[in-house]
Amino acid sequence: MSSRVLHTASSLSRRNLCRTCLLRPIAAPHQHRRPLHLSTIAKRNAAQEAWDLKAERIKNGEEPNLWNIFKERGYIKDIAGYGRL
């Protein structure tokens, strides 16, 4: 009996709503996912590989670190203070 009462009450409230308004609570939790083109994925992978190579070169001392470049130019002293810890 109670399920019949609930069903009747819910059908009365739905009677005054359009299809879009009825589907809005169902569709709200889902986010729209934009499809990615294969060339975009390839560019992202290439950029990640380039950053990984740059990180290895910095770790091996083949390329200067950005922090050291700023330190040479005096930016670290001006912005972050002296390099003493």
State how far the Cα of 78 lies from the Cα of 52, in Å rounded to an integer.
Answer: 30
What local confidence, expressed as pLDDT, does residue 6 receive?
46
pLDDT of residue 72: 86
Q: pLDDT tens digits for the chain (85 residues)? A: 455 544 544 555 556 777 777 776 665 555 667 788 999 999 999 999 999 999 999 999 999 988 888 888 877 766 666 655 5
With beta carbons less than 8 A apart as the criterion, state whether 63 and 57 touch.
yes
Q: What is the pLDDT of residue 13?
A: 58
pLDDT score, position 45: 98
The answer, as to whether pTM is greater than 0.75, is no
